[in-house]
A = this chain, B = another copy of it.
Amino acid sequence: MSLIELRQVWKSYGDQVVLERVNASVEAGEFVTVVGASGCGKTTFLNMLLGTEAPSRGELLLDGQPLPAEPDSRRGIVFQRYSVFPHLTALQNVVVAREFQMSRLLARLVGRRRRQVRQESLELLSAVGLAQSADKYPHELSGGMQQRLALAQSLINKPRILLLDEPFGALDPGIRADMHQLVLSLWRQHQLTIFMVTHDLKEGFYLGTRLWVFDKVRQDPHAPQAYGARITYDLPAGRKAEPGPAVGISLDRGDSDKVPAKLLLQTE
């Protein structure tokens, strides 16, 4: 049985058909990257997987069961922005995720369990390179560090599926390359199934095991809203091949805890 299965899924808002007849099945452990023109429904698709939107027609199955209509801890998410809690330090941002799970009433842990969760969380922060910034608030972190933190936070409760909606869209190109490595290593290590939306086709090919292109196959020039997008290409992507060698001027000036901002000049 596939992990995720979509059967004839339609999604429309009022008159506007956003997605039509989407069929697909995804196995555990795949890394699906999703590209498509702006406004074609990529985020809508992710929202359906997340449970914040329901399909208008068709079935969306998780482990063969209809997907619950609201987010839960089986599906983690990282948005382009606003993915971490601004009022908590980096460490607290990760700890709180465990506290939600382990203390249903107060969402606060004390004593031994608290120490244990702190320890776990610190390890995960180290894994994403934020050990030195554990006590900083998000506003003291750079954009890239915030997205690392969001990843760590999403992973501590061990979701089976990780949804990423242009997680690197707001980052500098140099920092992106580092994030790519991080996502790939987390994907392997935690044996995740990842859906990632990106605007960058190259990124899609580079990261994914499978690349989906969303596009409309039918167009009515008089009623542009009448038809929705579908998965027009479902391509095997380049994963398993390691990234090509990068040659470049590296303006590396990492402080001890910062992941260096690199400007990579890639050979064309």
Contacts and interface: CB of A to CB of B under 8 A. Distances in A.
A67 interface: no
Contact of A213 (B38, B213, B224, B249): B249
A268 B37 CA distance: 22
Nearest to A262: B37
A200 interface: yes
A135 interface: no
A147 to B, nearest CB: 15
A97 to B, nearest CB: 29
Contact of A174 (B199, B205, B216, B224): B199
Given A38-B261, A172-B38, A202 B251 contact: no
B201 A249 contact: yes
A35 interface: yes
A42 to B, nearest CB: 12
Nearest to A173: B200
Interface residues of A, number: 32
A251 B199 contact: no
B37 A261 contact: yes
A199 B37 contact: no
Interface on chain A toward B: helix, strand, loop, or mixed SS? loop
Interface in A198-222: 199-202, 205, 213, 215-216, 219
Nearest to A175: B38
B202 A265 contact: yes
Contacts of A233: 249
Nearest to A199: B172
Contacts of A38: 142, 172, 261
* Residue among A244, A261, A263, A267 with max Cβ neighbours from chain B (10 Å): A263
Given A174-B199, A199-B173, A244 B268 contact: yes
A263 B199 contact: yes
B265 A268 contact: no
A189 interface: no
Given A38-B172, A202-B268, A268-B268, 14 more contacts: A36-B251, A37-B251, A38-B142, A172-B199, A173-B199, A201-B263, A201-B265, A202-B265, A205-B265, A213-B249, A213-B251, A215-B251, A219-B253, A233-B249
A-B complex: 9 closest residue pairs judged by Cβ atoms? A37-B251, A201-B263, A172-B199, A201-B265, A37-B261, A173-B200, A38-B261, A37-B253, A215-B251
